Structure 1
């Protein structure tokens, strides 16, 4: 039995929606984009949505629109996907990596405060694995130091912190819809914000710097080709309508994993409940116990893959990546200890009990080889 790491959940409704766009005369910058932007903004509880071709593009536009540039510093976790730091570097600003909480794996507010310097301009709060970051504490720090806040909610659509959905806290936030996400548009992302002026800038920049009021081929500013096609938007609209059922399915899969793996002494399982938060399950990541090393984790991953079980290390710390050598000396003991022992197991909406049992059996067999 080959079990992939992830798998999108596509029904006939999505196929019909995409087919309808293909029968229309407009495949880009059309009515589906507007509808999807409005739906996502409303879902997040803000006024404006800007559809873009990826979460990475969305983060880049947020950094630029908020005036962050050369010489500025942005505090961000190293334990996350590299796009967060790359978006900062695109504008010649400097990511400053702060350590994480060992339970939630999100930014530790005390470490964020300690990382602030006179050059700090922003905090990029990443909601890792769909667990909300501690936004009250981070917003308090930002207010006291006059910093802007960008929410990287790319892994967290539908997550809630103290009764509010993520994406509604910062100056701007970004969701992403890659095929392994809770909902997918194939490729795509969505910026959401309350700020109309900010939204207008980013909407122009995603379309080569052309404002809606300008003539065709008249470009007021330097921009990018970050457009989100109509096909992707049609797919996203149907997926968004199904989000509640899909989040419930993912939560059920996580609970099944925790039941079958409970009591395995070699593993630290992910938390099912975070106080004052509602998690939006993105991945199911286990950790090897403290006595194990990265080499043990890598041997276990190889064993699982040989047995047809998809898995991956989540995350390799950004400051240890070859493209980030300038930050290799960063002191992040929790990040490094956690990242050395994490392993993502197969996780998707339609993962069945028999498949979970198979993963658990192979995982425990692999643990016996270490």
Structure 2
């Protein structure tokens, strides 16, 4: 079986986790702090805050921006449902904008028509690791005074050219960027997430809220030579990352450039092997974007049935996934008033499939996948 994804974990990660277990400090501690420093340095962000997953990162971002009932948050339906769910959990209303068919990202040409006097924030998704057009989006957001949260769950290692310079996703280009370290992502800690920001006050809020609103972190209290009584100054959450996860994450960060380079090589092979098939639309990078190729999504010719193609590939030992889901088609959002049609989002879900891609994927396996897709298209 060729899986849809496979994390690259080895002895280095196992040894790092073992060292933490034997240290006696396994919850949030010195490894988390080191992981935050190293991640911030890697992406060029002044501040980073590690949390339990990307969903909690997004929730902390909205909470720190005081998003709540009566507010509207613009985002895409074409994303994992967590993107919409965190807005609902705040009591705010998600407002869905359609996507571009080429990048599967928010169509900035449709953005401004979704803005109202109640719009407080935009959650922009760098879908499948492909950077969104942040230059166009930020021009609108800054002119309108709207906060921007980057859902960069899939985008660790991706880059974007802004103001003539290449920079990693997470610098951040908006107000806050949120990352995932789920096993389907380019680097993993099993579960885990990270927020980055250039705003010191937002970072202070993240770190307060993630630990129950505790005024004094555990690490400070336990290392103090005098007795300290903590206070709980806000209603917070338990969204902490463990030191075991962070130790694994630090080793994964060391691998990130190589992991991205390997994925880009697999994507290049797919482009070469599938590029001349009539009706099959391949993903492509805009001139200002460098994807980490967290996923490789192809749009099937109209004559092919998505489920049938996926089943035929599965019968040949090749795992695939359907196109990214649309939240507005799920029951919790079925009654939501929509301000624009989401045709491209729906077509992307119904007509696309994700092909296997991971750093250690061999040329033979990618050729086998390509041959199977070619057989379906030419059948």
Equivalent positions of 1:107-118 (< 5 A) are 107-118=106-117
Residue 182 (structure 1) aligned to one of 175, 181, 186: 186
The aligned residue for residue 264 of structure 1 is: 277
Structure 1 distance, partners of 2:378, 2:4, is 22
Equivalent positions of 1:81-100 (< 5 A) are 81-100=80-99
Deviation at 1:142, TM superposition (A): 0.9
Farther off after superposition, 97-106 or 61-70: 97-106
> TM-score normalised to the size of structure 2?
0.92
The aligned residue for residue 370 of structure 2 is: 360
Which consecutive unaligned segments of at least 5 residues does structure 1 have?
none
Structure 1 distance, partners of 2:86, 2:320, is 27
2:13 match: secondary structure: helix
Which consecutive unaligned segments of at least 5 residues does structure 2 have?
222-227
Deviation at 1:217, TM superposition (A): 6.3
Deviations 1:156-209 (A, max 9, x none): 112221112212111111111100111001100000111111111111111112
The aligned residue for residue 252 of structure 2 is: 239
Q: Are positions 1:286 and 2:290 aligned together?
A: no
Farther off after superposition, 358-367 or 230-239: 358-367
Structure 2 distance, partners of 1:252, 1:78, is 30
Does the 8 A contact of 1:131 with 1:279 survive in 2?
Answer: yes
Deviations 1:245-266 (A, max 9, x none): 1100000011111112121214
1:267 match: secondary structure: coil
Does the 8 A contact of 2:77 with 2:328 survive in 1?
Answer: yes
> TM-score normalised to the size of structure 1?
0.94
Q: Are positions 1:320 and 2:324 aligned together?
A: no
1:268 match: secondary structure: coil
Equivalent positions of 1:1-370 (< 5 A) are 2-162=1-161, 163-167=166-170, 168-212=172-216, 218-271=231-284, 273-289=285-301, 291-292=302-303, 296-327=305-336, 331-367=341-377
Does the 8 A contact of 1:176 with 1:188 survive in 2?
Answer: yes
2:121 match: secondary structure: strand
Deviation at 1:216, TM superposition (A): 6.0
Farther off after superposition, 352-361 or 329-338: 329-338
Deviation at 1:326, TM superposition (A): 2.1
Structure 2 distance, partners of 1:207, 1:72, is 26
Deviation at 1:237, TM superposition (A): 0.4
Does the 8 A contact of 1:150 with 1:173 survive in 2?
Answer: yes
Cα distance change on mapping 1:119 and 1:328 into 2, 3 Å: closer
Structure 2 distance, partners of 1:304, 1:211, is 54
Structure 2 distance, partners of 1:314, 1:328, is 24
Structure 1 distance, partners of 2:138, 2:327, is 24
1:183 match: secondary structure: coil
Does the 8 A contact of 2:77 with 2:98 survive in 1?
Answer: yes
